[in-house]
Amino acid sequence: MPELKATESNHNVIPLEQIQPNPFNPNRMSEEQFQEYVEEVRRLGRLPKPIVIRPVKDEGDEYEIIDGEHAWRAAKEVGLKEVLCGIDAIDNFEAMR
C-alpha cells in the first residue's frame, strides 16, 4: 500500500488516477443533476464530501469506489487532481451493497 497523505479528519488525499469506478454501482443520476453537481464542485473547489474507496487486491496503489462515483466523475470533469477519501477494506459482498 502506498504512503498516504493523512488529514485531520481521518481521511486521505488520493490522486484521481489511482481511483477506479466500481462495476456494482447501482446509483443513477440524470445529466442535469450531474451538471448541477459538477457546478457545486467547481464552486467549492473540492468535493462536498469524501469518496469512500477500498484497496484493489493485487493492484498495488489502486482503489475502487464504494461510494461517490458521481463525485469522482465530477472531480475529473472540473480538473481536480486528487480528492479526499475514506479508505475501507471491505469484501465484494459489502461493496455491492
Top pLDDT among 24 and 30 is at 30
Q: Could you tell me the residue range of the domain that residue 35 belongs to? A: 5-96
Is 50:11 a contact under the CB 8 Å cutoff? yes
Count of domains forming the chain = 1
User: Domain holding 81: CATH number?
Assistant: 3.90.1530.10
User: For 64, phi and psi rounded to 5 degrees?
Assistant: -115, 140
Q: What is the tens place of the pLDDT at every residue in 43-83?
A: 999 999 999 999 987 767 899 999 999 999 999 999 999 99
pLDDT score recorded for residue 8: 43
31: cell is 445529466
Average pLDDT of span 19-34: 87
Q: What is the pLDDT of residue 93?
A: 67
59: three-class secondary structure by DSSP: coil
